[in-house]
Amino acid sequence: MLEVKRERIVVEGRVQGVFFRAATQDQARALGLVGWVRNLSDGRVEILAQGEARAVDRLRSWCAHGPARARVDSLESFEEPARDEFGDFEVRRDA
């Protein structure tokens, strides 16, 4: 049985205006994850990803550098209890 993991990831740096959200969505979907990504008002990007534990770990590793035009200065991640509430991985409105 696969281990399901849910993780909130917050990325800081030059992460808005560089297609970080769209690229994160592409990566998450390719990994079979569900959840969302959104811009925060302070310039950071927040991701909530859930799925097979190794896939969540791979997304977090990708977020540490992001797409080509991004510059990631720091990344924080917090594990949360898994819940069955998502059917896809979406880009959400800014917070």
Domain boundaries, the chain: 4-89
3, 89, 2: which is closest to 47 by C-alpha?
89
Q: How far apart are CA 40 and CA 22, in angstroms?
A: 15
Q: How far apart are CA 52 and CA 71, in angstroms?
A: 27
Catalytically active residues are 21, 39
Dihedral angle computed from the Cα positions of residues 52, 64, 78 and 32, in that order, rounded to the nearest 10 degrees: -20
Whole-number pLDDT of residue 63: 97
Whole-number pLDDT of residue 95: 73
Burial of 79 by CB count in 10 Å (0-12 exposed, 13-18 middle, 19+ buried)? Answer: exposed
41-58 pLDDT, tens digit per residue, is 999 999 999 999 999 999
How confident is residue 93, by pLDDT bands cut at 50, 70 and 90? confident
What's the pTM value of the predicted model, to 2 decimals? 0.94
Whole-number pLDDT of residue 1: 61
Level-2 CATH architecture, domain 4-89: 2-Layer Sandwich (3.30)
What value does the CA radius of gyration of the chain take, rounded to a whole number of Å?
12
